[in-house]
Amino acid sequence: MNEQEILKALEEVRKGPKRNFVQSIDMIINLKNIDFKNPSNRIDLKVVLPAGRGKEVKVGVFGETDFLNKAKNADLKISDKEINKGAKEIRKIAESMDFFVAQTTIMVEIGKTWGKFLSTRGKMPQPLPPAADPTPMIMRLKNSVSIRSKGETPQTISCAVGTEGMKDEELVKNIMAVYNSILEKLPARENNIKSIMIKATMGPSVRVV
């Protein structure tokens, strides 16, 4: 896949009908000939998009008081004394945040009460030592996308690579970043890719390769 192929596909995507909201641009990769029963072949990545997400991304932070005080860019702060919430509230918070960061010393406690809600959504917190400043990690996550293969026989993985309000050149950079990151995880690299598509939220899929 090269930049010209992506630009040509984006041109077709932008011909779709306009909506009364800013649509995401999604990348869909159809895979082949991968044994996902082998844990080493499973895909679980967080890819930093060089041109950003083009939309707000929310990051929640778990920690003790000193750790939370340093998390100035967090969208939600949950102290070590507030971890034990009810299932309904945990589920609501898990849905409202895109990513989480947590102080390492309370990861076990988070796992006990939040684990089943966060792990199924691919949102288990990124751990950091208590003395660390979580701000760089928060800002990195705000420009990241999560990519996961689900189950033992996934045929398709997908993620948002930006929005239609972004420039084509920015979307190309993001698409290539995702492509190269996934390529590194595939045992046979390009030979494991059946096709790559891009689409707007409400538009048809356009084949890149």
pLDDT at 149: 87
Find, among 143, 145, 90, the residue nearest to 120 by Cα.
90
pLDDT at 172: 98
Q: Where does the pLDDT of residue 151 fall: very low under 50, low under 70, confident under 90, or very high at 90 and above?
A: confident
Return the domain boundaries, the chain. Answer: 3-52+145-207, 59-141
> What CATH number matches the domain at 3-52+145-207, 3.90.550.10, 3.30.70.260, 3.30.190.20, 3.40.50.1100?
3.30.190.20
> What CATH number matches the domain at 59-141, 3.90.1300.10, 3.40.50.410, 3.40.50.790, 1.10.3720.10?
3.40.50.790
pLDDT at 40: 87
The C-alpha angle with vertex 169 and arms to 168 and 173, in degrees rounded to 5, equals 115
Q: Which two tokens stand for residue 50?
A: 């060089």
Q: Which residue has the tokens 């492509």?
A: 179
At 8-65, the pLDDT tens digits run 999 999 998 889 999 999 999 999 999 988 888 889 899 999 999 999 999 999 999 9
